[in-house]
Each structure stands twice: as C-alpha cells, then as structure tokens.
Structure 1
Amino acid sequence: MEIKFYQAECGDAARIRFLGNDNKYHNVFIDAGYERTFRYALEIEIQEIINKGERIDLWIISHIHDDHIGGIIKYIDTINDGEYKDMVNQYFYNPPRSYVFKTSTKSASEFASIGQGDLLYEYLKSNNKLLNIDITSSLKPFELYGLNITILSPSSQKLDKLRLKYPLDSPKSFEREEDEKISEAVTTKQNDYKTLINDFVLDKWKEDVSVENGSSISILTEFNHKKILWLADSHPSDVIKSLNKIGFNSTNKLECEWVKVTHHGSKGNNNDALYDLIKCENYLFSVNGENKHYLPSKECIARILRNKKRSTNSKYKFHFTYDNETLRSIFKNENSNIYAEYNFEVVYGIEKYLKFDVV
C-alpha cells in the first residue's frame, strides 16, 4: 500500500493506492484541499490513474469547509466542461442540508446562498452517485478489496447539528471556514511558537465547537494488519467514543502506522484523552503554517510528546507537508536537547506530496 499526503496549504488532500485481494490496484482519495489544489497536485494524480487504466474506487469528502471540499468542486467543473470524465466509482459525502422537505418546492440551486456543499450535493444527486444513507459512526465497518474501513465520526447527533444550522429554506450561507467567533475560543491571536515544549500548561483543555468540524468524516483504515487513522477536522470526543466502542483504551491501545492529525494541529481538536489511546510513531500535519488561525499549534505538538501514557522508547516523527521558515520556527528557540529528551524528529515536505509505502 502506498499513501500520499498532498500539499494543500492549510487543508487536507490524500490518496491511498493498494493492491486489492482481486490482484488489481485500487485508489481511495480522502478530501481534496482548496479549488486550486486540484490543478496544483490532484490533476497530475488523476492523469496518472487514467494512464494506468485504474479508477478512483472511493472519494471521501469529510465536510464542507473550503480546504477539504474545494478540489472536488474543481474536479466537477472539469467534468462539466468535458475535460475529464468522472472516474470515481463511489463518493462518501454527507449533504449539509436535509434537502428532501415536503414544504420546499425549490432545488438547492435556486437559493442565493448556494455554496460548495450544495454544488457537490446537486452533482452527486443528478448523476445517481449520492448514497441514500448518512456516513456516520453508527455504520458497521466495511471492506473494499481487502481495505477495511471503520467510520469513527461524525455521530448522527453532530450531523443533525450541521443540518439544523443550515435549514433548506434559509438564505444563510455556509461557513467556508471556521467562524472567527468560534475559533477565538480555541486558538490564539498569534502563534505559540515562542513557548517552550516544557512550559505549556496542559491540565486544562477546551474542545473545538465548530459545527462544521464536528460533522467531519474521520476513518480508521486497515490493510494487511497495518492501520492508519485519518482524523479530518473531527472532534476528539467523538473519535474517543468510537475507539472505545471497538475495544481500544489506554491499556489496549490502537497501534497504527500513521495518524493524520486532526484539524491541522489545532489545540482545540487534540487532547490528552485521544493520545492516551494511540500507539503510533508517525504523525502527519497537513498544513503550511501560513494561515490566520496560526496552525499548527505548538501546544498540540507538546500534548503528543508529553502524553503521560506514551512510551519514550518509541521515536516519534512529525511530518509536515511543507518546509518553510514558519514551520521551522516552531522548534527554533528550543534547546537542541529537546529532540533527545522526547525522542522525536521532524520531517519537512519539499515536493507536492509526501509519499510513503506501508508494507
């Protein structure tokens, strides 16, 4: 199995390619970054898949924020323009509204507030590619040619909250990213990179309350006994409940090859209780460090490193999809001994994607 994490600025876009139990190669995409991410990185991958005579078996769009859904909207534009044909067999996407109301005679496109979430719904609906079920943690795990997928979030309750926020007949526009009022509760007005890892006070924590982030589809994949945790922008409380439900806890930890860190390393989406359950050496931050929410937060990194249930015999690797001065400044004022003290290293991405083989 090969995985790629694409440069999507402060956004998510990734791909899994694996040799299935039918002896054919299969592809799963997870999120799509911004609209510009399609031309920058995803188009090259799609062309490669076409050249190999393969298809995209599944494309998961976790939620409606620009940095996750934008690239798929651009992909749809190229299909509508005749540039590409849709080569996706199945989409996992939760429509952000309850579109089927007897009281409404309008289609989604008739609303002045139509956003990317509506556009994707209309495309999937009109092409008979919209599933008639919600993708939530209540679904049973399923298999795709030997790749096992478990849905960890959202809960049905969190998805209902999203749809209550955006009623069908409401002119309210979708939040294209976290609302400033919401974000202030869990982020700082400047980065926290000057604070030393050992100086963070970690006994208090406040969870992100973004309704959109709470609706994120996060998954656990397993292939040939190798697990990867894909957390989108999910709320850790939901992921913890799902992991507990399938038998993981602080004494029976989830052992995985990779963790795609939730919400680009936001401090409001990463807590001690989540990392109490995880045994992993590779942590992926899909972020460039140049965003108004100052992500990734160093506090998030400190929580992972200083987790009380972590074994320091295991060397951690933090992988960033970019390499720039901002990201390197996270550790700039640390004593060089910090890497030995917490047994970790940092890897920076210099290409359009980070590629790893999971064998």
Structure 2
Amino acid sequence: MNSMEIFFYQAGCGDAARIRYLGNDGKYHNIMIDSGYSRTYSEILTEQLNEIERKKECIDVWIISHIHDDHIEGAVAYINSVKRGERKDIVDTWFYNAPRQPKHKNSKGRDNLISTPASIDNGDKLAEYLNSIGKLNTTDMTTESPNINLYGLSLIVLSPDSHKLRRLREKYPPGSGNRLQRIEDEMTSLVSAARGHDYHKPLEAFALDQWIEDDSVENGSSIAFLINYNDKNVLWLADAHPSLIVESLIKLGYNRKNKLTCEWVKVTHHGSKGNNSNKLYDIVNCSNYLISANGTNRHCLPTKECLARILRNENRPMETEYKLYFTYDDTILRRIFDVDSTIVFKKYNFHTLYLNGQKYLKTTL
C-alpha cells in the first residue's frame, strides 16, 4: 500500500512543511511547503535536504505561499547557499506567485523581470533567481488553475483568486520602489492578530457570532490548497482568507451536509482570529489540527478565539475526538486552557499535543 509522510517543521511563528510519498511511477517524491525563517533553513531544512539527497531524491515541487518572511526567508537562504556553491539545487519546480507582475526571460535569454534598485526584498530575490534559471511560473497559481496531478497526488488550489493576486500586484507595481512587506505588522491588519494573549478568557466566553476577517493584502495572496492522496485529504491553508477558502470548497461541492473530510488541517495564519471563521469549520470534518506557532511570538498567536471556533463549532460531530497539535512546547502554549476547568476537555472532547524535544512532527497516512 502506498504511503505518505508529512513533516511539520518548527519555524517559530511561521510555516515550513514537507510531504514525501510513493508516486504512481514507483518512486518517492517530495513537496516542500513554505520554508520558515533563515534559521529554519540552517537549523532544520539543511539536514532534511541532505537526507533527501542521500536517498537520491529531489524536491519535486517547492510551494511558497506568499512573501512574508516567516514563509519565504528559508527558501531565500536555500538559493543563497546554491549561489555560493555550498550545495547543488535539487528543486525541480517552484509554485510561487511573484509579487510584481513578472516579465519572463525573452527568447534571447535576457532577464526582463524587475530591473530596479528596489528589488532587494526576499519576495523579489526569489522571483529574480527563479527567472534567472528559467523556473519562474509562466502562469499564476490561482483558483482558476486546473487541478494538478503529481505522480498520483492531486493538488487543488483554493486561494488566491485573480482578484486577490491583482490586489497584491497593484500594491507593488514594477519599478515603483515600493518595498515589499517582509514582516507582518499589526498596524497593517489589526484584526489578523491579537493585541495580547486572550488565554485569560474561558473557552466558552468567546462570542463566536461576532467576527471580522483579516484584510491583509499579503495574507490574501497566499497559495492555499487541498491535496488528495489515496483518497485521503489534507487541507493546507497558509495565511489565506477563510471566505475565499469557503467559496472554493463550495464550488467543489462541499457544504454543511456534505463536509470535506480531512486527515489534517494546517490551521490558517498560525491560529489568528481574523483568518479562522465559523463558516470554514462548518464544512470541514477533521480531527487533527496543526497550529504552526510558538508561544513567544509578538502577535500572541495562536488566539484562543480561533481554537474556540474549531472546538465549539455548532456543526461539529461531538463524538469525534479533536486533537490540537502545536509545533512547540512552552509555558505560554501550555497555559492556553489553564483558566478552564479540566471538564472542558471532556465536554468538547479534545486534547492538546506539543512537540517536545524534536524539530518536527512526523505523521504517516
């Protein structure tokens, strides 16, 4: 029986993951999803890439969801190491929507991308490198893209749509000199993160009927997708806006009565309150939720409000035990439910799991 391994890497309050699976060609394939910070590359991804090389495998696809450093910086560290000759490039294909409208190499091999001194941020660096080696996407990855089959693994893009990608490029036109937003600022999108931890509030104290969606242009441009392998689904949400995810899933035929059954959900935007909605969890049936965040990040993520929307969803099957997996184990994460009586774990049929003493969580489907 074919199997798939999923690696969720520690990336601070960022995303980095890998899928390894046996393809229908009888060979093992790897998909890298985001890359965390540069320290994620040096402390974790380097040894993972070395292991892939030892097995004489490659990264078939590296997906970079969007331009924030907590998703892209590790990939830039990788290409810098390739440029310095420290390692060979083992990535076959990149899925990445350049933040500035790309002009690809012409037939004479000349670089027509971004030739402006402003092109110094990580999002531009990755685009320029990929263009220089002829691996920058010739078409955007959006909800209009056809379903992708990767040796028996199906990938369906749920975000962004062309409108959200256009908003990104309107914000960063070529030659404008506009610096790309590298680190998400609370002033950019106050609803996307908490002003402080909300762990002092009991799980049942959150008014789930009140909600404002994240308005970050960069988060909205995230590549989010659904993968299917051997009839098992995994939902990868990056930092995407949930309203578009819901819209995309409804177009696929999912709703409250016909829920999308998943083995795992990579919770969007590290468990922020503005990126996790009731409507999203209304139509998802899953018992394993991965929150990629540590407890010391300045945005105070994950929010307890996000976890309340997962656990208290009115359309949730209460007989199903929910598991909340955190990529770190620290005193802040451990105290999320301290204010609640232990009865809350039984009432809402869930428990929490923390990554203690390891650099990544590995699971096999």
| Common topology (TM > 0.5) | yes
Matching residue of 1:75: 78
Matching residue of 1:123: 129
Matching residue of 2:290: 284
| Residues 1:42 and 2:45 are matched in the alignment | yes
Amino acid at match of 1:280: C
Amino acid at match of 2:88: K
What is the CA–CA distance in structure 2 between the aligned matches of 1:113 and 1:82, rounded to whole Å?
23
Amino acid at match of 1:184: L
Q: What is the CA distance between 1:220 and its match in structure 2?
A: 0.3
| Residues 1:204 and 2:210 are matched in the alignment | yes
Matching residue of 1:170: 176
Q: TM-score, normalised by structure 1?
A: 0.97
**Correspondent of 2:309 among 303, 308, 332:** 303
Counterparts of 1:1-359 in structure 2, within 5 Å, are 1-100=4-103, 108=114, 110-112=116-118, 114-350=120-356, 351-358=358-365
Unpaired runs of at least 5, structure 1: none
Q: What is the CA distance between 1:342 and its match in structure 2?
A: 0.2
What is the CA–CA distance in structure 1 between the aligned matches of 2:68 and 2:115, rounded to whole Å?
19
Aligned-residue sequence identity (percent) comes to: 53
What is the CA–CA distance in structure 1 between the aligned matches of 2:206 and 2:192, rounded to whole Å?
15
Partner deviation per Cα, 1:193-248 (whole Å, 9 max, x = no partner): 01000111111100000000000000100100110000000000110111001111
CA contact (8 A) 2:186 2:193 kept: no
Q: What is the CA distance between 1:107 and its match in structure 2?
A: 5.3
What is the CA–CA distance in structure 1 between the aligned matches of 2:283 and 2:317, rounded to whole Å?
12
Q: Secondary structure at the match of 1:322?
A: coil
What is the CA–CA distance in structure 2 between the aligned matches of 1:65 and 1:188, rounded to whole Å?
18
What is the CA–CA distance in structure 2 between the aligned matches of 1:169 and 1:110, rounded to whole Å?
6
What is the CA–CA distance in structure 2 between the aligned matches of 1:195 and 1:62, rounded to whole Å?
32
Q: What is the CA distance between 1:111 and its match in structure 2?
A: 1.9
Partner deviation per Cα, 1:230-283 (whole Å, 9 max, x = no partner): 000000011011100111111100000000000000000000000001000000
Moved more, 224-233 or 324-333: 324-333
Partner deviation per Cα, 1:320-352 (whole Å, 9 max, x = no partner): 000000100111121011110000010001210
Moved more, 4-13 or 185-194: 185-194
Partner deviation per Cα, 1:130-155 (whole Å, 9 max, x = no partner): 12100001111121011110000000
Amino acid at match of 1:325: T
CA contact (8 A) 2:186 2:299 kept: no
4+ runs of 1 displaced by more than 4 Å? none
What is the CA–CA distance in structure 1 between the aligned matches of 2:279 and 2:353, rounded to whole Å?
25
Unpaired runs of at least 5, structure 2: 105-110
Moved more, 295-304 or 136-145: 136-145
Q: What is the CA distance between 1:109 and its match in structure 2?
A: 5.1
What is the CA–CA distance in structure 2 between the aligned matches of 1:198 and 1:205, rounded to whole Å?
16
Q: What is the CA distance between 1:180 and its match in structure 2?
A: 2.5
CA contact (8 A) 1:233 1:262 kept: yes
What is the CA–CA distance in structure 2 between the aligned matches of 1:183 and 1:168, rounded to whole Å?
24
Q: How many residues align?
A: 355
What is the CA–CA distance in structure 2 between the aligned matches of 1:146 and 1:268, rounded to whole Å?
34
CA contact (8 A) 1:109 1:119 kept: no
Q: Secondary structure at the match of 2:40?
A: helix
Q: Secondary structure at the match of 1:108?
A: coil
What is the CA–CA distance in structure 2 between the aligned matches of 1:202 and 1:290, rounded to whole Å?
25
What is the CA–CA distance in structure 2 between the aligned matches of 1:277 and 1:41, rounded to whole Å?
34
Q: Secondary structure at the match of 1:269?
A: coil
Q: What is the CA distance between 1:100 and its match in structure 2?
A: 3.3
